[in-house]
Amino acid sequence: MGSRRVVVAVADPNPTAGRGVQRLRAAGIAVDMGLCADDAREQNIGFFSRMTRGRPWVRMKIAATLDGRTALADGRSQWITGPEARKDGHRWRARACAILTGIGTVKADDPRLTVRDVDTPRQPLRVVVDSRLEISEKAKVLEGGGALIFCAVDPGKKLKAETQKLSNPHGKVELPKMLEELARRGINELHVEAGFRLNGSLVSEGCVDEFLLYLNPSFLGDGAQGMLALSGISSLDQRLKLRIASMDRIGEDLRILARPA
């Protein structure tokens, strides 16, 4: 005996998707839609973002002290949080389709941008924003090939990475266009681990959907780098307000997941 009833959480947002629900109903099968719809969207939030907005879901990870400092004045940031929080951060890396950083972080920390502390069936695409294409050929992020660099100049040197020019009138990478290009490449979730300048630019240009904050019970004080480089405001009403989605203790650190309110 065939199925008599099908339960669907949410409709497929892909505009090219087949008419599966209509075909089931035409065949006399009862179809109930909407059960756990919010949960289904959350589990597939990147796919829904790419299908409905033409851009990935962008999650910005920031590790900071309680006074909001993310690195020393010279850019060094290893390690502000404890080992448990760092491992948890790799879990979030593993669920993303791509990991993005800026040339400032590459110069200061020389990261690999790979998933290492947890098992993963595949490594996310490594993406670097490097407006003037200053990256060293020996940078660890380029090891093994397969990285993608967005720049604002014509490539003048060969690198073990794909380069794509996307410049805005200010000689910087056009960040919204970069998100569109990543979506075109099938990127659903983009995980950002960058410095305060690129973080600020992404937020200012409306490119961030979610903040993954790890707060360590310590202080770095004046002179250390902050979370975001944002323009000053003249009124508290102008501040960027967030809605806390979850808050958990990870080892000795506090993890906050928040979205623009």
Residues 230 and 251 reside in one and the same domain: yes
C-alpha gyration radius of the chain = 21
Structural domain for 13, as ranges: 1-43
Residues 58 and 169 reside in one and the same domain: yes
Give the dihedral sign, CA 13/19/22/28: negative
What is the pLDDT, as a whole number, of residue 187? Answer: 98
For the chain, give the percent of residues with pLDDT over 70. Answer: 95
Residues 70 and 139 reside in one and the same domain: yes
What is the pLDDT, as a whole number, of residue 18? Answer: 59
The answer on pLDDT for 248 being more than 90 is yes
Higher per-residue pLDDT: 73 or 86: 86
Residues 53 and 138 reside in one and the same domain: yes
pLDDT band, very low/low/confident/very high, at 239 (cuts 50, 70, 90): confident
Residues 154 and 193 reside in one and the same domain: yes
Residues 175 and 234 reside in one and the same domain: yes
Amino acid occupying residue 135: I
Place of tokens 């593993």: 94
CATH code assigned at 76: 3.40.430.10
Structural domain total, the chain:
2
E strands along 26-83, which residues?
A: 30-33, 57-65, 69-71
For the chain, give the percent of residues with pLDDT over 90. Answer: 64
The answer on pLDDT for 28 being more than 70 is no
Q: Which residues pair with 62 in a beta bridge?
A: 213
Residues 50 and 162 reside in one and the same domain: yes
Give per-residue pLDDT as tens, 196-221.
999 999 999 999 999 999 999 999 88
What is the pLDDT, as a whole number, of residue 2? Answer: 67
Residues 88 and 3 reside in one and the same domain: no
pTM, rounded to two decimals: 0.89
The answer on pLDDT for 27 being more than 70 is no
Residues 129 and 236 reside in one and the same domain: yes
Give per-residue pLDDT as tens, 95-129.
999 999 999 999 988 999 999 989 999 999 999 99
What is the pLDDT, as a whole number, of residue 16? Answer: 67
CA nearest neighbour of 97 among 177, 42, 179:
179
Residues 32 and 52 reside in one and the same domain: no
The answer on pLDDT for 1 being more than 80 is no
Residues 56 and 31 reside in one and the same domain: no
Residues 69 and 30 reside in one and the same domain: no
The answer on pLDDT for 6 being more than 60 is yes
E strands along 76-207, which residues?
A: 98-102, 125-129, 147-151, 161-165, 189-192
